[in-house]
Structure 1
Amino acid sequence: MALSREEIAARYGTALFGFAEDNKVLDDVYEEVGELKKAVEANPAIIGVMSDPVLNGEEKKKTLEAIEKDFSQEVQGFLNLLLEYNRFEYLIDIIDYFNNLYDEKKSIASGTVTTAVKLDDDQLKRLGDSYANKYNLKAVRLENKVDPSILGGVILQVKDRVIDGSVKTQLKKIRTQLIDEN
């Protein structure tokens, strides 16, 4: 029975996490796979080349050596493992799974804050710090999405929790109350 994309990501992501944790290089591996993910997302052809069944193993190995030269032995070993077992096409999914395990271990959450106008970095940081304090997290990484239709205020979504403080929602609530009273 073939494994699903999610199962492969979970297996390899968990294995990388456990290996990095056992070798006491978890933070270093986290930083390196973050950089690797950025590089692969900027150059998606890397995945195509490393997953191409037409290319022989030696060509892929040479390409991988050029990619991995600046990474630690742990990340190099991991990339070679993916190449050996033909799992390179799942690299981004595996890194995402690893990152989720890392965030869970370190009490870090990620989310989005939707506003009518773009927030600066300081505003995002203060909002994230406030949320982290309220929910006993060490940190919250927020991405800002701009949606002028909310008129003002913020909609904060972290994991499955949504805090909607938008003007649009407040106006809808007032409208509903006025209609219910009549």
Structure 2
Amino acid sequence: MSSGADFKDLQRRMDGAISAYRNDLASLRTGRASSNLLDPIQVQAYGSAMPLNQVATVTVPEPRMIAVSVWDKSMVNAVDRAIRESNLGFNPIMDGTTLRIPLPELNEQRRKELVKISTGYAENARVAARHVRRDGMDALKKAEKDGDLGQDDVRSQSERIQKMTDDTIATIDSLLTEKQAEIMQV
């Protein structure tokens, strides 16, 4: 087969868009506690900003509680401050070197905001998949223009790229539907 689109690279990039989207969704708070909720938090530690998981262990001892065990006693206040200032709406309770974070029930308005945010994340992931498709199609056009590919090869490869894109977007949409159901579940 002659050159054209690099399907392995295109698939890797589409899988990357799905993976990034899964990470975005994991950071959204639903009714249940998850250690991923604290992933975006950066703590001012030892003169620089560090991810929370590099200064503490995050566990979920019960469905509506997150426990953060800070490794260095001198860092407890910095971790507490980082969590409070994170705009996630958490108020940690200090217990020695452990911070307990009770998760309040989500009200209807907050649930609707989270659904909107998840929809935005989905659109970003779809756009990323479409960019990958465009790059693949551009490679095909160039190969055809350079005489490396005939029209039939271009057509079959572009159909393959379109199918790859459709499958990726279908996965994104199903993840979105799942997450929205989880958010709206009372």
Q: Which has the higher contact order (CA 8 A, sep 6+)?
A: 2
TM over 0.5: no
Q: TM-score, normalised by structure 2?
A: 0.27
**Higher share in helix:** 1
Q: TM-score, normalised by structure 1?
A: 0.27
